[in-house]
Amino acid sequence: MNVKRIAESENKQFCYGRFLPSTEVMFVAEMPSFSKRWNPRNNFFISNTDKLFVQILTKHGFGGSYITDIVKTCAPVGDLEPKQVESFTPFLLKEIEILQPRLVVAVGKRALRELVSFGTSFRLYPQSLDHPARLRFPSHVPVFEEQVKELRSFFNGL
């Protein structure tokens, strides 16, 4: 499979996962954040809510985890099509195979549905974390922190 060809056919920039030191837990979102400020040469652009997401993960012992997406191209929210998921699934499965995380965690309900549909070649956390976009609401921060605490408890029991 030619990654560049798939991305070019969709007229979009291909986004690889963000490789950080710990691969025990892999967080998988639906697709890279769409932003007018996004720089296609820098896959490490993160929004303020993404920064808060990473800060909370770090606070609860998941700092440095691998964060990636099912679909590897940016698209406006709601623009995801089944064909896109299908074309990028082999890449995500290869990431999982190479990194062999102890646990894969979906970020968002849509990501969880897709990951469940891939089968059981990896250990999947049975619920999803809320999408970081919800962190733009200050009242949601404690809710998200509670989800990450539950994830930590689950992970410690593995």
- pTM, full prediction: 0.80
Q: What string of H, E and C letters represents the secondary structure of the chain?
A: CCHHHHHHHCCCCECCCECCCCCCEEEEECCCCCCCCCCCCCCCCCCHHHHHHHHHHHHCCCCCCEEEECCCECCCCCCCCHHHHHHHHHHHHHHHHHHCCCEEEEECHHHHHHHHHCCCCCCECCCCECCHHHHHCHHHHHHHHHHHHHHHHHHHCC
Evaluate whether the domain defined by 3-156 bears CATH number 3.40.470.10.
yes
Please report, rounded to a whole number, the percentage of residues in the chain having pLDDT higher than 90: 34
Q: What is the pLDDT of residues 34-70, one digit of tens each?
A: 555 555 455 555 678 888 988 999 899 988 888 888 8
Q: What is the pLDDT of residues 100-124, one digit of tens each?
A: 899 999 999 989 999 999 877 899 9
Q: What is the pLDDT of residues 64-100, one digit of tens each?
A: 888 888 887 665 555 667 777 888 888 889 888 888 8
Domain ranges of the chain: 3-156
5-14 average pLDDT score: 50
